[in-house]
Amino acid sequence: MGAFLAGLTISESQYSHQAFGSVLPLRDAFTSFFFVSIGMLLDVNFLMQNPVYIVLLASSVMALKALIAGFVIALIGLPLRIAILVGLALSQIGEFSFVLSQVGLGYGLLSEEAYQTFLVVTVLSMAVTSLIMTVSPKVADAAVQLPFPKRLRSSKSSVPEINANVKAMKDHLIIIGYGVNGRNVALSAKSEGIPYAIIDIDPEIARIEAKNGEPIVYGDATQENVLHHNGIDNARVMVIAISDKAATRRITDLARRLNSDIYIIARTRYILEMGILHNLGANEVIPEEYETSVEIFSRVLEKYDVPRDRIESFVDRIRSDGYEMFRSFSKEPYCSADLNLIGSDIIMLKVFEGSLASGRCVADIGLREYAATLLAIYRGSEIFNYPDESFVLQPDDVVILQGSESQMSNVEDLFRIANG
């Protein structure tokens, strides 16, 4: 009790972060000791003698806990999908139950057999927790598609009256998630007079922002009726600005089915999600992983006095190619060519099939006539620094050139498709 009170006192002081950092290694060490000691108490022979009974008992306990936790979440008004996720996350037996069982065993309230049964069931429930957490998003997505009553699926608070007239909007913007990205999109839309509606699953954010006059509703955008309430049928653009991978997929697929003409822009953390979301119906997928890198190399090129229009041209080319060009750079990013050429212009150009440079050696394309120097060539995951004049250019190669700014626009014509 003294340690508990001391912890409460320190947590409210200015030393709380330092104290927590100091005891964090001890916490991890004692947690390891705790679970090792529980494993030593476990009678493996008891489990092997009663496997069916133990599995059924553990499944029953976890199902009951999941139902109770999910019912409480649904009771306070959160959507069905959230109730299922929370129920599965809390289905295992907690560590504090070990303390209670020890007390019960010491006072004779539990027999040795009952105590062993409890230990085996508890350890088994903890062992499958990671697996349950992995599959829980898929289980929740599948469950919400079952024919549950609409009131249970949408929750009593998912459709507040603050946005009751949004169905009358035409060509409006729907923003899913009101984090940093969602706020910036809403601010831009407001400054340009674009009508928009916001959906966020955090009731506190929805309540505060609604008081501030934002057209925001609290709801789960993976639910069809929530999207209908926000005028999905008449919307022109949808921006999905949430970090939940499974929910982003579900919303993209649902929005495309509800409105075949809506333009969907989805945010994702990783490049690997781009293909999946495109297949589900997203028109554009913005991967944070590569957008961060784009911003970094843009600033690097600025420090080497590369003109801003050249940088923007290169960025546009990367995005238009679906990041394939930039992805090839990430496999072999090292370039030994000297880019520190103050007063000169450095550009990167892709060799398109059918262009004047495609299939020809460096000497034949006449770079000397434009006073341009070939510094390096990217080909797939390889890079060729200072290639000689016999080097043959192939389609999809990316060349790095240095020369005078006045001549660079003429050089670009060598690598483009004629009339393209």
**Which residue type occupies 141?**
D
User: Are 147 and 183 members of one domain?
Assistant: no
Q: Are residue 139 and residue 218 in the same domain, yes or no?
A: no
What would the two tokens of residue 259 be? 């409105």
Q: Given 131, 152, 173, which residue is the final one in a domain?
A: 152
Residues 204/216, Cβ–Cβ less than 8 Å? no
Using the Cα atoms of residue 218, residue 222, residue 223 and residue 229 in order, give the sign of their dihedral. Answer: positive
Q: How many CB atoms lie within 10 A of CB 146?
A: 8
Per-residue pLDDT at 341 = 46
- H/E stretch holding 299: helix 288-303
Could you tell me the pTM of the whole model?
0.50
At a CB cut-off of 8 Å and minimum separation 6, what does 150 contact? 225
- 148 and 164 part of one domain: no
- State the DSSP code for 76: T
One-letter amino acid at 414 equals: L
Q: What tokens does 399 get? A: 């060349």
**Average pLDDT for runs of 10 along the chain of length 420:** 69 63 73 77 80 89 91 80 86 82 84 85 85 84 70 50 60 90 88 89 85 85 84 91 86 91 88 84 82 73 73 70 48 45 63 85 82 80 80 87 71 70
Query: Does 174 lie in the same domain as 75?
Result: no
> How many angstroms separate the CA atoms of 43 and 90, rounded?
25
Using only C-alpha atoms, the chain has a radius of gyration, in whole angstroms, of 30
- Please count the CA atoms within 13 angstroms of the CA of 14 that sit on its side-chain side: 0
Give the integer Cα–Cα distance in Å for 86 and 54: 24
Calpha distance 262→256 (Å, rounded):
7
Tell me what pLDDT residue 262 has: 93
101 with 196, same domain: the answer is no
76: in domain: yes
In a domain, 182, yes or no: yes
Residue 253 domain-assigned (yes or no): yes
**How is residue 361 annotated by DSSP?**
B
Return the number of other C-beta atoms located less than 10 Å from residue 400's C-beta.
Answer: 19
Number of domains observed in the structure of the chain: 3
DSSP string, 120-169: HHHHHHHHTHHHHHHHHHHHHHHHTTS---HHHHH-TTSS-GGGTTGGG-
3-class SS at 10? Answer: helix
Q: Residue 289's pLDDT is what?
A: 65
205 domain-assigned: yes
**Domain span at 302:** 291-412
* Beta strands, E only, 47-98: none
